[in-house]
Every structure is written in structure tokens, then in C-alpha cells.
Amino acid sequence: MDLFDLKGRRALVTGSSMGIGYALARGLAQAGASVVLNARDGARLAGAAEQLRGQGIEVETLVFDVTDADAVRKAVDGFEAEIGQIDILVNNAGMQHRTPLEEFPVEAFDRLMRTNVNSAFYVGQAVARHMIGRGAGKIVNIASVQSALARPGIAPYTASKGAVSNLTKGMATDWARHGLNCNAIAPGYFDTPLNAALVADPEFSAWLEKRTPAGRWGEVEELVGACIFLCSDAASFVNGHVLFVDGGITASL
């Protein structure tokens, strides 16, 4: 279906050496896009790129730290000048830190905010400046079910993902008139490296299966369709939307 065809477009996916970012990069490539993987660990990034190339996928890499505004700007501007335009941005880089709020270290709070919120602003702004000049572009931020819900021990993460959701709305409000579509995907509980400790906890998994109408953890491949949709012409009039992909957990008490 032509509406979902991403051929001829290049997608930058931050934090894409593993987990959700890697799955989304692979999915966008399968929809026709060429993909640019990003991480700050060059060796791990090279390994992920080789895995995709082994599957016949056209892939480039861009090593930079998403929490360093100057490094982000230099990397994006350099890529645009030397290699080509970025048509799609998926702001996926993120981290988690689980500690009771009354004991949460200040430095961990700052690091979490820089990684989850500042990075979306830094990379989003750097890429959008080029997209605005072309009058077109797609930005997809990865929010979370914690944009709407909270659990003990992750209050700062909840705050950060609420900020990502509202930043997405702000991006749409400022940039839609320039031809950009800015939306977010809010995953529920997925089996990823970030959630490895929870997946390995039988008590938590049992709670989650009861709490989620779908009755199970999500698989990262189940996020791909939502991402392709938001990056495609099928979503040409979708802007500032947060799409929950959560097995129904936010729909039920």
C-alpha cells in the first residue's frame, strides 16, 4: 500500500543499537526506508549495523551522545551536509532508574532527565531545523505508558515521559505549519533490556499479566506498525498525538 511506503526516505533512530530502537530501525527499513543507527557506544553500534546488513538492510551509523547538545548539532549538521537529508527522526534513546522517591539520588534524577527529555529536545531541534527548510519531515518520540500512569519507585521516569508527551504536542504546535508531523508512541510493558529485571521477576510478571487486558508482556516487533504509520503518508494529518501501544493497560482499572 503506497500510503505506508517509506522508499526514498532516510530515518535516524536514536538509541538503536538494541531493544526498541533496533526493532524500530529494522521495521522502518522493511517498509522501504534507509536507516541511520545512533548510539554513543561505537562498537555496539557497529555490531547492530552488521546484523542489519546481514539481513540485506541499507544502514548507516552516526555515533554521538544524545545528552550533549553541541555533539548532537555537529553530528546532525555534518550528516546533512556530507551524506544527505534526514526525513524521519525517531527519538528513542532513554534510560530507567528504580529507587524510592525519598531516596532518589539527585545525580540520577539529572541523568535520567538529560537522557529522556533533553535528548528529545536536542535531537528534535537539530533535525527539525533542516526539515523546516524543506517543508517536510516526520518526528516520532518514544514516550511510555508512564506518560499517563505511575508506579512506586519510578516517579522521575514518570515525570520524564510525561514531559516527552507534552514536548511532542509542543513540537506539533510549533512545527506543523512548516510541514512537519510530530507524534509519539507510548509503549506499555515490553520485554526489553530496560525491563530485564522486571521480566525476570515472577511476581511482577504475574501482576502485569493480570493488570493488562491482553494478559502478557508486549514484544518489541508489535511497536513497528505504529511507527511505520506515524512515519508514513498515511498519517499526513496526524499531529501532536500520543499513540498508546500497551495491550489495553491504560484503558482498564
Active site positions, annotated: 157
Beta bridge partners of 63: 39
Three cell numbers written together for 216: 502478557
Question: How far apart, in whole angstroms, are the C-alpha atoms of residue 98 and residue 102?
Answer: 12
Identify the DSSP state of 190: B
Three cell numbers at 249?
Answer: 493497560
For the chain, how are helix, strand and coil distributed in percent, rounded to 5? 55, 15, 30
Count the Cβ atoms, other than its own, within 10 Å of residue 192: 21
Q: Please, what is the Cα angle at 27 between 47 and 90, to 5 degrees?
A: 85
Using alpha carbons, select from 176, 149, 189, 179 the residue that is nearest to residue 241. Answer: 176
Distances (CA, A) of 87 to 19, 34, 66, 125, 226: 22, 10, 18, 14, 17
Query: What would the DSSP string read from start to end of 12-44?
Result: EETT-SSHHHHHHHHHHHHTT-EEEEEES-HHH
Residue 36 identity (one-letter amino acid):
V
